[in-house]
Amino acid sequence: MDFSIIFIVFLVINTCLKLWLDKREIASILRHRSAVPEAFAQKITLQAHQKAADYSIETIRFSQKERWVSLLFLLIATFGGLIQQIYDFFTAWLGNGIWTQISIVGVFALISSLVDLPFSWISQFKIEEKYGFNTMKKSQFFKDLGISTLLSIALGLPLLAVIFWLWQVAGSLWWLWAWTFYVAFNFAVLWIYPNFIAPLFNKFENLPEGDLYNKINFLLQKVDFESNGLYVMDASKRNAKGNAYMTGFGKNKRIVFFDTLIKKLTPDEIEAVLAHELGHYKLKHIYKMMAVSFVFAFVVFALLDFASEADWFYKGLGVVLNDGTSHGVALILFSLVLPVFTFPFTPLASLSSRKHEFEADKFAVENANGRSLITALVKLFSDNASTLTPDPVYSAFYSSHPDASTRINAIEKILRNEQQ
């Protein structure tokens, strides 16, 4: 069977599946919009519940529009001849060397980014602003865009150059060497991110001494976690949502609190939220996910090597090569088709992530105040307008975190067991 037919069949199945899941989610939210779920009746107002419902539905419908444009762009890029034209132009101008491959990938990435740009703008300044989340100035949007672009060039150019060079000189096992370099490159970026990349986008100040500072340090000592500093990030210059995270690895780990989180939660609640994040590290969730991603990358590089040597792969996606192979074209085509064939496996990744969230919650209850974790989650679900009534099938497919009711019920069960 022609590869183009296989690809289109999977594309149609994926599109229909996504639309069906969206329909279920919207129906579930609308069905429960008129009343706060009983478990949250005393914790969240009807107004907040309906705001979350409306926000969730609007973001889903907006993502559908974005998906249709992405689908159209995919068809134009492949069967419509866009990639063919980019390939023809640069091979006629520069030949078929490494710089040609980098140029092909770079120009396609630029065009793809320009297609996505209006959706980022509308999401930030229309939807997020409509529901009171956006605090970003338009000048900040363009500043972030400029920094992100320069950073992508600074990091992406050497990564591509080395991979294409290995592809050219390392023989049949080029993909294994490229994968090894890719893993090392990722570790290097993780190492430099806290000190050199993150400060390009945000300001980080030391967490001031006081009740919260003391609680956090006591918690770190209790769970035997070494940190390279406690910081507050000016997240409020972009949106009003609260969060906390840890970044880096080894001795270069940092704990970062959004300033919005500190304003919304009590010290006990922030301690409980951090205990959850610490649980991910202490239970080795971070390293397990990294291991899975690197194994996945190993398979991807191997499959890329296989596909790049197959004439049916290029022709099946609307590209005819006039000079043997094109590593740049192969990389673009593979990056476009991979999500189409891997989408049905999304629930497996979501299931693993939700399992980690339950385990981290249990760790937090054991090492901080479980009741404070519940009140913190209720505030965050409310302030971030997370729907309380998701469709179970939709959640099983997409959700990396358990829904609010399931998660809080699990925490309360742990607390009851501790009291017995």
Annotated binding residues for Zn(2+), written as ranges, equal 276, 280, 357
Cα 369 to Cα 271, 399, 404: the distances in Å are 8, 26, 18
DSSP character string of 40-56: GTTTS-HHHHHHHHHHH
- Euclidean distance between CA atoms 125 and 132, whole angstroms: 10
Instruction: Kindly state the tokens that stand for 155.
Output: 């990091």
**In 35-127, which ranges are continuous DSSP H helix?**
46-77, 82-94, 98-122
CB 57: neighbour CB atoms within 10 A? 17
Cβ contacts of 214 within 8 Å, gap of 6 or more = none
Give 265's DSSP letter. S
The structure tokens listed for 71 are: 């689908």
Tokens encoding 25: 């989610």
Contacts of 248 (CB under 8 A, 6+ apart): 190, 191, 193, 194, 228, 254
The candidate with the shortest Cα–Cα distance to 215, out of 295, 291, 278, is: 278
Tokens 């990639």 map to which residue? 83
Q: What is the 3-state secondary structure (H, E, C) of 222-264?
A: HHCCCCCCEEEECHHHCECCCCEEEECCHHHCEEEEEHHHHHH
Residues at the binding site are 276, 280, 357
Which positions are annotated as active-site residues?
277, 361
Q: Is the dihedral of CA 150, 155, 161, 167 positive or negative?
A: negative
Instruction: Report the alpha-carbon distance of residue 97 to residue 397 in Å, rounded.
Output: 42
Alpha-carbon gap, residue 67 to 119, rounded angstroms: 10
Residue 90's CB: how many other CB atoms inside 10 A? 22
- Dihedral angle, C-alpha 107, 109, 111, 115, nearest 10 °: 180
